Amino acid sequence: MRHEQFLGDPFPARSNRYASAAVIGAGSWGTALAATLAHAGLETRLWGRNSAVIDDINANARNSRYLPDVVLPKSLLGTHDMSDALSDVDAVLLVVPSRSIRSVARQVAEHAPEGIPVAVCAKGIEAETGLLMAQVAKEELPSHPIGCVSGPTFARETALGHPTAATVAFPFDHSDRLHPERSAAVRLALSLTTESFRAYVSDDLVGVEIGGAVKNVVAIACGMMSGAGFAENTRAALITRGLDEMKQLAETLGGRRETVTGLSGIGDLSLTCSSTTSRNMALGHQLGQGLARSTCFDGRPVVVEGEFNAKSVTDLARRVGVSMPICETVRAILHEGVDLGVAFAALWARPIEAEPRGMDVSFDHPSSDKDIATFAERIS
């Protein structure tokens, strides 16, 4: 052990942290990230539209609406004024639903200091354009470095200080590779890192974002089959084959397969597919039990990212020629009116394939139409 590294400042990496940050979006995940930044010692401002939520944060160090049992750092400052939130900050985290990224990024562009990094913390693909969230933000914030933060992270556990890990991804240029300690990815990773929150760094923005978008759709599939009464074999199969769909799409779009086996891919996928704490898993579970979509979540208008991503992900996959049968199954059920049992029986009755795609082997499924119809009734 090199004892000299402990002379002087016991945490020399702190010198590369940002001094201040703005988190745009005061929902559960935005609040958890803001609390993490404040706990790490950054001057942190949290912007939200709901004045009651912001007043609660400032007066009581609580976000009673989204994280009622979490005590927030008293240094965390809430605001519903975008200009105030972004005044003189060093970095911005966009933590709003994927459908709002473009409009909110446009607002950020009016007030953010020139050239500061912006990390997108929403997961999805824009329906109208087929763009990933960071690509959407880049169109609205062309003079800013754009990256993302993604990983297996439930907001409440993060805010409570449970050991948590995530990936911070930004493109790396030549200068970043020569001096990684100066890069936006490393500086933001250090800014988020505390004794309980551990950030990793990536230069594969496409791979990280594809993992975040696709895992929500696969989680709905897992929830559907769980709600229909099936157990661990089924969930393991869906997770594994869903991961393969994720790899194929990421690689086709220029990402790396290795990225999808990391925190933002299999890590986030396994978490989201394992607990109804995930709204995606919870929606699927309720639909699998036979509830109508309008009655899920007791009729409350809960935003479920995978519900929208099921269409945008498969639209993109079709456009680039990638087969994603699990995601297509979820799309068929949610957006095309196909019966859940019929859709999943058809998924299981697809031609028999080799698992290494390089073998290029395929045979028709041996079950009869009657067998498949019986299985569909069992699922339903």
| E runs forming strands in 170-325 | 197-202
Pairing of strands 118-120, 92-94: parallel
Which residues constitute the domain of residue 277?
207-379
Domains in the chain, number: 2
What are the residue numbers of the active site? Answer: 215
Around Cβ 325, how many Cβ atoms within 10 Å?
14
Alpha carbon distances (Å) from 228 to 184, 287, 333, 344, 369: 45, 8, 14, 11, 21
Q: State the pLDDT at residue 357.
A: 82
Residue 292 one-letter amino acid: A
Sign of the Cα torsion 202, 204, 209, 210 reads: negative
Shared domain check, 63 and 21? yes
DSSP per-residue letters across 4-44 = GGGSSSS-GGGGGS-SEEEEE--SHHHHHHHHHHHHTT-EE
In this prediction, residue 84 has a pLDDT band, given cuts at 50, 70 and 90, of: very high
> Does residue 6 belong to any structural domain of this protein?
no
Is the pLDDT reported for residue 5 higher than 50? no
In this prediction, residue 337 has a pLDDT band, given cuts at 50, 70 and 90, of: very high
Shared domain check, 359 and 316? yes
Last residue of a domain, one of 183, 203, 223: 203
Q: State the pLDDT at residue 150.
A: 98
Shared domain check, 215 and 133? no
Q: Considering only CA atoms, which of 172, 14, 35 is closest in space to residue 93?
A: 35
Is the pLDDT reported for residue 180 higher than 90? yes
Angle of helix 232-252 relative to helix 305-320, nearest 10 degrees?
50
Shared domain check, 69 and 91? yes
Mean pLDDT over residues 354-362, rounded?
Answer: 89
Last residue of a domain, one of 157, 177, 203: 203
Is the pLDDT reported for residue 10 higher than 70? no
Around Cβ 8, how many Cβ atoms within 10 Å?
7
Q: State the pLDDT at residue 50.
A: 96
Shared domain check, 315 and 176? no
Last residue of a domain, one of 143, 176, 203: 203
Q: State the pLDDT at residue 2.
A: 34
CATH number at residue 65: 3.40.50.720
Do 43 and 22 touch, CB atoms closer than 8 A? no
Shared domain check, 213 and 199? no
In this prediction, residue 3 has a pLDDT band, given cuts at 50, 70 and 90, of: very low
Is the pLDDT reported for residue 11 higher than 90? no
Is the pLDDT reported for residue 219 higher than 60? yes
Write down the pTM of the prediction. Answer: 0.93
Shared domain check, 129 and 45? yes
Report the alpha-carbon distance of residue 123 to residue 279 in Å, rounded. Answer: 13
Shared domain check, 281 and 323? yes
